[in-house]
Amino acid sequence: MLTRAGDREGGAAYAQAAMDALPPEKHSLTLRMLMREIQR
């Protein structure tokens, strides 16, 4: 939502923090693909 609203840096930081809060075994391919999309 932050990224779509124009806050690309805030959106990427929020998404990265959420991903970092998950244990590594929960980092699915779908989540990694979503992170790449947010970072673009």
pLDDT tens track for 1-40: 888 898 988 988 998 899 899 998 888 998 888 888 888 7
**C-alpha 3 chain-centroid distance:** 10
pLDDT at 21: 93
Q: How many helices (H) and strands (E) does the chain have?
A: 2, 0
**C-alpha 7 chain-centroid distance:** 13
User: Which pTM was predicted?
Assistant: 0.68
pLDDT at 8: 87
Tell me the residue length of the chain.
40
